[in-house]
């Protein structure tokens, strides 16, 4: 999971993604980052 640049009409798409982020627990966010780091 990396922050990426965006363009055009991707606001709604990003909002959906961020709404999903807000549903995740802090532990899940940390674990996702550590997994991404190891890839």
Give the interface with other proteins as residue ranges (CB under 8 A).
1-3, 5, 14-15, 18-19, 21-22, 24-27, 29-31, 33-34, 36-37
Closest distance to other proteins from the beta carbon of 12 (Å): 12
Q: How far is C-alpha 22 from the chain's CA centre?
A: 9
Task: State the nearest-atom distance from the C-beta of 15 to other proteins, in Å.
Answer: 7
Q: Whole-number minimum distance, CB 14 to other proteins, in Å?
A: 7
* Torsion angle, alpha carbons of 26, 19, 8, 33, to 10: 20
């Amino acid at each position: 999971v990396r922050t990426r640049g965006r363009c055009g009409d991707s606001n709604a798409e990003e909002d959906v993604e961020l709404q999903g982020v807000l549903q995740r627990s802090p532990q899940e966010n940390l674990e996702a980052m550590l997994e991404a780091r190891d890839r």
